[in-house]
Amino acid sequence: MKIRLTLFLLIFTSFVKGQEANDLLKKVRGKLEKVNDYVASGKMRTNVIFMKVPVASIKVYFKKPNRLKIKNESGISLVPKGSISISLNNVLTADGYTAIDAGTAAIGKTEVRVIKLLPVDDNNEVVLSTLFIDPVRLLVLKSKTTTRDNGTYELEMSYNKYADYALPDKVIFSFNTKEYKLPKGVTFDYDDGSEKKETNGKPKKGKVELSYSSYIINKGIDESIFK
Amino acid sequence: MPDIISVTKLSKQFRDIKAVDELSFTVKEGDVYGFLGQNGAGKSTTIRMLLTLIEPTGGEIEVMGMNLRTHRKEILRNVGAVIEKPDLYKYLTAYENLSLFAKISGVKIPAAKIKEQLELVGLSERANSKVKTFSQGMKQRLGIAVALVHNPKLIILDEPVNGLDPQGIADIRNLILQLSKSMGKTVMVSSHLLNEIELIASRVLIIDKGKKIKEGTAAELFDPANTIIELSVANPKEVWEKLKQTGWKDSLYLTEGEMILMKLHKSNIPSLFKTLSEMGAEIYSLSPRHSLEDYFLSITTQNRHVETFAN
Amino acid sequence: MWKLLQIELFKIYKRPRTYISFAAVLAIVSVVQIALRYDGQSYIGFMMSGLSDTFEFQNEKVLNGYLVCFIILNTLLIHVPLLVALIAADAVAGEANMGTLRLLVSKPISRTQLILVKFTASVLYIILLLLWMAVLALFVSIMIFGTNDMVVLRNDSFHQMQVNDVLWRYFMAFAYATVAMSTVAALSLLLSVFAENSVGPIVATISIVIVLTILSEMNIPLYDKTVKPWLFTSHMVAWKGFFYVKSTEDGETIRGSVENLPAITRSFSILLGYIILFTGLAVLSFNKKDILS
């Protein structure tokens, strides 16, 4: 009996909590809904162990519900796959998730609510998303997405000028990279005799940092951009 | 006349072969100096040492009063040479070859002078043809033009008539005489053909196996007392035996096939004729021979009676 | 000396075989350019396959004139020693074979001068050949493919340079390649001194370059630290070092930087050492040689 009661309470509280979580999500989503489209200009900084890449000037195009394109007007930019989730809309606007409240945590000095999203559909590419939400400003400060095929992505966002639209000034996107190795016979490298850093074969973390200087919001975007 | 070339105890050892063995000789200014020897006697090695192509293993060479080792450039500026085949740049024209070698020889030669040289060797019409289209004779003449273009005092010609037709040989012979007589050049000509040298040389050096055999004026060397004659008769065995019984006994030299070789003074040839006709020998031909081998035979002191017919 | 050099250059200029190399370079470069023009995307796809799992990029931007030139130089520079040997190995042996050597050496010029002039002429020939290659492989490629950032893939790293940080690297690379090819010329010349026709030294030069290149490219621990650092072929590819960049802690390419300049300088010095060694030996042996051709 006691066990039953405990079980009931547990389910009930989690239901209530889930309810709360859903409410919070709704509010956050509501804020995001204000943006139909945007074009953001900024810089992209890539930090992957085996890569030496210049900072790229990029433009990020977004259109509801979940269309996103990162473009480098001049140079070459390597955009990590899965960066589509740089847009939170991708996570939040889609239906078919079960939200679970996972308590609170602190990011910096801000206390945040931790909410886990489980897709209803078992075959969904996303296995689990965890959101760290500032309940006061109604902004997602951090998200973790575990995918079936592409490992875990992490997003860290900081807001300033465009906080009203829930658009970050800075996004740090972390992802797993595979071991990179090309056969020597293909590259015919110049061996300068320097000691090679030993790689232990474990997957490496890569980071892409996007700093936006400006957004143009809700001015409409031509479809052709996303092709 | 001063010495142009003075060679003292010159030697060259190639591994186990002594190509030139303590050879000494002098060439005087204005000489046409004949350098005789059979193939492999060491003529080319000697000439190449004179031209600094080969380093001697012993001895001294002085040219125009200067040591070749210490004054190489000054000497070579005044030397022109054709060494064996006169090979030139095949992909260049006659004119280009000539002007190129003039430049290397360190003298500035105007285009007109180069054309003049081509004229001298009879190639002015082919001045702008590539050398690869030339016949052996034309190459030879161009080679000589190259040797002359920088107006050298000494001209060294190594086997200049090799591979030429009779007309070509005569042309070269005349050219050498012209160089010497009307242009006052000193010419050193090597050859294995005695009759060629005999016709042009004022002085002659004969070498064999790298050693000097004889050096002197042509008159001294080609002594009429030692003329080799070649006798062709109907019945050589019988004639040989008969001559053995006569005063010609000591002149009998040896037999060569069906030929009888005799060594005698040139002036005795008419009386030999007489003897032979008295004997009733049927003479096909009787003529003096001019090969270097014969010359070597003629200067050996003792007559060797090789009685091949006796058996 | 200058007059002799003029003569030597005149001879090279007049020889039909000189132009074989220029035609060969034209042929190889055009073939690569045509192939990349029509099938470049799949080539880039193959080249970048190590990255395409993790990243998206614009193939059409990656395939630009700068990268095309890099691809061409990678395939071509291995074969240029053959073209260099064709001229340099012929320098003495060819004249011996033709019979002009004896005439040349009996002229009032020193043998040392003759070898130095022949080496200098070979170097000038190399410079012209590489300039020709630069025009075709770099400038024509830029005309066909345009310019953009350049990416270079090493076996363990990926380097990206900004578009306006590339051209100077090519100038350095071509200058370095001149020195690398001059090493081959010096070797050919040395071998040429000992031969009476040019086939021997040409084949010998190529064989040596091939064997040593294979040794340089193979990963054999026994040789890695002992033999390889002293093979001139290991250092001939150091021009690539100009396309390896430095980065900040955060992995950001530093403009105008070269990852390991001291290594390039060292390779350069080793090549210079070999040039001096080979040319010196050529001068010594030629001075001692009896010209019997």
* Under 8 Å between Cβ of B2 and B60: no
Cβ contacts of C226 within 8 Å, gap of 6 or more: none
Query: Which residues of chain C have a CB within 8 Å of the CB of B103?
Result: 3, 7
Average pLDDT across chain A, whole number: 78
CA dihedral angle for residue B117, residue C114, residue B187, residue C196, rounded to 10 degrees: -100
Q: Which residue type does B89 have?
A: Y
Q: What pLDDT does A18 receive? A: 63
Q: Are residues B212 and B236 in the same domain?
A: no
pLDDT band at B2 (very low <50, low <70, confident <90, very high): confident
Q: Which residue has the higher pLDDT, C56 or C177?
A: C177
Mean pLDDT of B68-81: 93
Q: Is residue B306 part of a domain?
A: no
Please indicate if any CB of chain A lies within 8 Å of the CB of C237.
Answer: yes
- Do C and B touch, 3+ Cβ pairs within 8 Å? The answer is yes
Mean pLDDT of B11-25: 91
Among residues of chain C, what percentage have pLDDT more than 90?
Answer: 64
* Under 8 Å between Cβ of A118 and A128: yes
CA C187 to chain B, closest CA, distance in angstroms equals 24
Residue pointed to by tokens 């998303």:
A129
CA–CA gap between residue C150 and residue C170 (Å, rounded): 12
Query: Which residues of chain A have a CB within 8 Å of the CB of C161?
Result: 54
Identity of the residue in C74, C244, C260 whose CB atom sits nearest the CB atom of A188 = C74
Is residue B307 predicted with pLDDT exceeding 50? no
Q: What pLDDT does B306 receive? A: 43
User: Picking from A191-205, B13-27, B50-64, B120-134, which range would have the lowest pLDDT averaged per residue?
Assistant: A191-205
* Domain closes at, from B163, B194, B221: B221
pLDDT band at B69 (very low <50, low <70, confident <90, very high): very high
Mean pLDDT of B9-27: 92
We report the CATH number of the domain holding residue B253 as 3.30.70
Is residue A15 predicted with pLDDT exceeding 70? no
Q: What pLDDT does A82 receive? A: 65
Please indicate if any CB of chain B lies within 8 Å of the CB of C106.
Answer: yes
Please indicate if any CB of chain C lies within 8 Å of the CB of B273.
Answer: no
Q: What pLDDT does B96 receive? A: 93
| pLDDT tens-digit map of B94-106 | 999 999 999 898 8
CA A158 to chain C, closest CA, distance in angstroms equals 19
Neighbouring C-beta atoms of residue B180, cutoff 10 Å = 21
Query: Do the chains contact at B104 and C291, CB–CB below 8 Å?
Result: no
Q: Is residue B24 part of a domain?
A: yes
Identity of the residue in A48, A178, A199 whose CB atom sits nearest the CB atom of C53 = A178
Q: Are residues B180 and B211 in the same domain?
A: yes
Q: Are residues B97 and B165 in the same domain?
A: yes
pLDDT band at C137 (very low <50, low <70, confident <90, very high): very high
Query: Do the chains contact at C250 and A45, CB–CB below 8 Å?
Result: yes
Highest mean pLDDT among A111-115, B191-195, B233-237, C271-275: C271-275
Q: What pLDDT does B310 receive? A: 40
- Do B and A touch, 3+ Cβ pairs within 8 Å? The answer is no
Q: Are residues B184 and B40 in the same domain?
A: yes
| pLDDT tens-digit map of A89-102 | 666 655 677 888 88
Which helix (H) or strand (E) is C97 found in, with range? helix C90-98
- How many CB contacts within 8 angstroms connect chain A with chain C? 137
Phi-psi region of A138 (alpha: psi -120 to 50; beta: other; left: phi over 0): left
Mean pLDDT of C58-62: 83
Please indicate if any CB of chain C lies within 8 Å of the CB of B107.
Answer: no
Which residue from B305, B228, B232, B239 is spatially nearest to B276, judged by alpha carbons? Answer: B239
Q: Are residues B193 and B236 in the same domain?
A: no
Which residue from A128, A122, A133, A121 is spatially nearest to A151, judged by alpha carbons? Answer: A128
CA C79 to chain B, closest CA, distance in angstroms equals 27
ipTM of predicted assembly, 2 dp: 0.83
Please indicate if any CB of chain A lies within 8 Å of the CB of C228.
Answer: yes
Query: Do the chains contact at C156 and A196, CB–CB below 8 Å?
Result: yes
Mean pLDDT of B36-47: 89
Query: Which residues of chain B have a CB within 8 Å of the CB of C288?
Result: 55
* Domain closes at, from B192, B221, B250: B221
Q: Are residues B228 and B217 in the same domain?
A: no
Please indicate if any CB of chain B lies within 8 Å of the CB of C292.
Answer: yes
Cα angle A60, A168, A56; round to 5: 40
Q: Are residues B245 and B193 in the same domain?
A: no
Which helix (H) or strand (E) is A71 found in, with range? strand A67-72
Query: Which residues of chain C have a CB within 8 Å of the CB of B106?
Result: 107-109
Cα angle A76, A77, A81; round to 5: 140
* Under 8 Å between Cβ of B180 and B105: no
pLDDT band at A88 (very low <50, low <70, confident <90, very high): low
- Which domain does B259 fall in, by range? 224-299
- Do C and A touch, 3+ Cβ pairs within 8 Å? The answer is yes
Q: How far is CA B44 from CA B5, B161, B214, C195, in A?
A: 16, 14, 18, 20
User: Picking from A5-14, A145-154, C38-47, which range would have the lowest pLDDT averaged per residue?
Assistant: A5-14
Q: How far is CA B154 from CA B43, B101, B104, in A?
A: 17, 16, 17
* Domain closes at, from B170, B192, B221: B221
Q: Find chains touching chain A: ≥3 CB pairs under 8 Å.
A: C
Determine the length of chain B.
Answer: 311
Q: How far is CA B69 from CA B53, B59, B75, B80, C72, in A?
A: 12, 11, 10, 18, 52
Q: Are residues B163 and B40 in the same domain?
A: yes
Please indicate if any CB of chain B lies within 8 Å of the CB of C16.
Answer: yes
Q: Are residues B140 and B266 in the same domain?
A: no
Query: Which residues of chain B have a CB within 8 Å of the CB of C11?
Result: 89, 92, 100
Question: What pTM does this model have?
Answer: 0.84
- Two tokens at C175? 């200058």
We report the CATH number of the domain holding residue B133 as 3.40.50.300
Q: What pLDDT does C139 receive? A: 94
Q: Find chains touching chain B: ≥3 CB pairs under 8 Å.
A: C
Q: What pLDDT does C216 receive? A: 83
The residues pairing with C152 across neighbouring beta strands, listed in sequence order, are C159
- Two tokens at B69? 């080792």
* B227-233/B211-217 β-pairing: unpaired
DSSP string for C190-218: HHHHT-SSSHHHHHHHHHHHHHHHHHHHS
pLDDT band at B311 (very low <50, low <70, confident <90, very high): very low
In chain A, domain spans: 2-33+85-189+199-213
How many separate helices (H) and strands (E) can be counted in chain A?
Answer: 3, 12
Going by the DSSP 8-state scheme, the letter that residue C243 receives in this structure is G
- Which segments of B17-78 are extended strands (E)? 17-28, 32-36, 58-63, 66-67
Which helix (H) or strand (E) is A69 found in, with range? strand A67-72
Please indicate if any CB of chain B lies within 8 Å of the CB of C167.
Answer: no
> What residue in C sits closest to A78 (Cα-Cα)?
C57
Q: Are residues B24 and B40 in the same domain?
A: yes
Query: Which residues of chain C have a CB within 8 Å of the CB of A200?
Result: none
Q: Which of residues 164-183 of C touch A (CB under 8 A)?
A: 165
CA–CA gap between residue B251 and residue B228 (Å, rounded): 9
Q: What pLDDT does B120 receive? A: 84
- Two tokens at A219? 């001015």
Q: Quick one: how far is CA B74 from the chain centroid?
A: 27
Query: Do the chains contact at C253 and A178, CB–CB below 8 Å?
Result: no
Highest mean pLDDT among A182-191, B302-311, C175-184: C175-184
Query: Do the chains contact at C290 and B54, CB–CB below 8 Å?
Result: yes
pLDDT band at B276 (very low <50, low <70, confident <90, very high): confident
- Two tokens at A182? 């090309």
Q: What pLDDT does C279 receive? A: 97
Q: Is residue B246 part of a domain?
A: yes
Q: Is residue B310 part of a domain?
A: no
pLDDT band at B55 (very low <50, low <70, confident <90, very high): very high
Q: Which of residues 1-20 of C touch A (CB under 8 A)?
A: none
What's the structural domain count of chain B? 2
Would you tell me the crossing angle of helices C111-133 and C167-193 to the nearest 10 degrees? 140
Query: Do the chains contact at B92 and C3, CB–CB below 8 Å?
Result: no
User: Picking from A33-42, A199-208, B61-70, which range would have the lowest pLDDT averaged per residue?
Assistant: A199-208
Q: List for chain A the helix, strand, coil content (%; round to 5).
A: 20, 45, 35
Q: Are residues B59 and B201 in the same domain?
A: yes
Is residue C97 predicted with pLDDT exceeding 70? yes
Q: What pLDDT does B305 receive? A: 44
Q: Are residues B19 and B150 in the same domain?
A: yes
CA–CA gap between residue B144 and residue B172 (Å, rounded): 9
